Amino acid sequence: MNLPEKFIERLQKQFGTKSSDLTKSFDAPSPTSIRIHQNKQKEYSGEKIPWSNSGYYLPERPLFTIDPLFHAGCYYVQEASSMFLEQVFTQLLSKEEKISVLDLCAAPGGKSTHISTLINDESVLVSNEVIASRANILKENIIKQGSGNVIVTNSDAKYFSELSEVFDCIVIDAPCSGEGLFRKDKNAIDEWSENSAHHCSIRQQRILEDVIPCLKKNGLLIYSTCTFNPEENEMQLKWLKEKYGFSGVQLKTESSWNIDEWNEDDLYGYRFLTNKIKGEGFFLAVLRKKNSDTAIGNSTNKKFVSWMPELCIEKEISPIRNWINQNESENIYKWKENYFLMSNEQLKMMNELSDRVKIIYAGVDLASKKHDEFIPSPALALFERINISSFNNLNLSIEQALSFLRKDSLQISSLEKGWMLAVFENHPLGWVKSLGNRMNNYFPMEWRIKNY
């Protein structure tokens, strides 16, 4: 691989004689890994990722597009190193505890869909992405994974600076120079320069400063990048400690994991070096906020449309009540023409966010209503707590499932008429409406499989 000379020189200063093994590893194949959704797919056989209870390596990269279980949200294709985030939640946070989490740079959704399974249904994850097109991809992936404890937002970090100590935990997978992805993304090599890496570090500090005010005192800041660059990693930790009084938090790791632990001045960082682990280059650190006197950011004067649904009366929603397995802390709300399942904590968080950030999705979209008929939503089909027995199921073969996912017309007749749940191997994919002699396909147009 034709690596930049300045990059090689810096690695030599950083890792000494070990840098040669690191640069050689960039020529090795990039491993493929997935994280299964344990509430949808209970069993999976394969080589386990050692730092994740639900992560697995695959022997080769299949064509995920033509696997209906991928579209059903049974698993997520995620880089193995980034699944180390799980250790923070399992070691430092209790799943029994009700917490609020912000994933600030969340698209396409690997970490957010992971976090949503590591917190309970009464906790709230705000999953944010600043770029609108990527935010829509994030929303789609959140819906397909089927957790109901997420609010998806589309705002710059500066809009969160007006919030005061709202979150127990903030995750920042910061935009970086991408050195850890060189073997996976050759464009990252072409775009790399010392100057661009330096600009990344400046941008990272701006992002960090914007969100520090909305982290609670003693809250956790999880900072990660996909680069080896100390200016974007270790030096950022030192800056957070010196300027804002953050303290480092150490994680327990197994020696067999071969993770490189950096420790200096009670700060800790975990480096995933491609010559030592089976995964891409990655850096993660956990810090604790010790002070609560961080100044709130100045008002941006930009206000977004409030996304505040109204509680439905029981009579209005009784036809759809048995469509889901609902928790005591949840209620069904109406926003415009749609009915959403939301928890009490989500409503509180939405009130905090109010018109400060742009909310594009929250809870679970259950249905819309037209001419007194409830029309089930795509999100309902993929919700992990859908009551499948409440619907007539249309069991699809692999060929029929792929036809459904392409949004083709389904040449299937049925004695049943009305809404039916399209199912593949007991996993819901979406909705069809049976007219007896034919089926109308209600798979979302923007999700359809193309070029197959």
Q: Which residues are catalytic?
A: 226
Strand spans (E) along 237-309: 247-249, 260-264, 267-272, 282-288
Whose structure tokens read 């009670």?
266
Pairing of strands 124-128, 100-103: parallel
CA distances from 386 to 147, 298, 390, 409 (A): 11, 43, 9, 25
**Which of 105, 150, 120, 143 minimizes the C-alpha distance to 359?**
150
> Quick check: helix, strand or coil at residue 379?
helix
CA distances from 451 to 72, 282, 407, 409, 444 (A): 19, 33, 12, 17, 16
**CB-hemisphere CA count at 13 Å for 388?**
17
**Does an H or E element contain 243, and which?**
helix 234-244
**Does an H or E element contain 181, and which?**
none
* DSSP secondary structure string for all residues of 386-409: B-GGGSEEEE--HHHHHHHHTTPP
CA distance 278 to 13: 24
**Which of 357, 291, 297, 290 minimizes the C-alpha distance to 164?**
297
User: Residue 299 region, left (φ>0) first, then alpha (ψ -120 to 50), else beta?
Assistant: beta
CA distance 314 to 77: 40
Pairing of strands 150-153, 124-128: parallel
